[in-house]
Amino acid sequence: MSEEQRVKTYTRQQVLAWNDRWSHTDVRVIEENLDRLGVVTYVSPPSGGYIWCVDGQGRRVMKIAAGYLEFRDAFAPDEAEKWDGGRSGVDLSNAQFRGPNSPRRDEPASICPVHFVQLPSSGRCDDCG
């Protein structure tokens, strides 16, 4: 089986709709990073567990998972956190970390004091505006 047959490709619109649990803020953060990095291709392995974002020079610059964005070191934005193992990333509002292979240490989730929902990585509640 060739590499092309083992990966699934997506359009940008499909990527932005890939996880129906993402908040509006999550989608905005994803879009901002796709634009910033000049992403032109979106591919995932057969498992469909994440999506690699590839720039115009063919470099895998960002990985989109259900609850976080992970960046190759040279491509991380200023607000990215350093995770265990030397990786960098941004949590999305539905981030869940359960096991030893979690991208970063477990920390208590920030909760909106008005709407009692978990805050996205921006720290701003979508419903509060």
- Entry field: residues in the chain: 129
Show me where the domains of the chain are located.
Answer: 1-129
CA 55/CA 96 separation, integer angstroms: 28
| pTM to 2 decimal places | 0.69
Residues paired with residue 68 on neighbouring β-strands, in sequence order? 91
Q: What is the pLDDT of residue 6?
A: 76
Q: Summarize pLDDT for 72-110 with one digit per residue, the tens.
A: 878 999 888 887 777 789 989 887 654 444 455 445 567
Q: What is the tens place of the pLDDT at every residue in 1-46?
A: 454 557 899 999 999 999 999 999 999 999 999 999 999 999 998 8
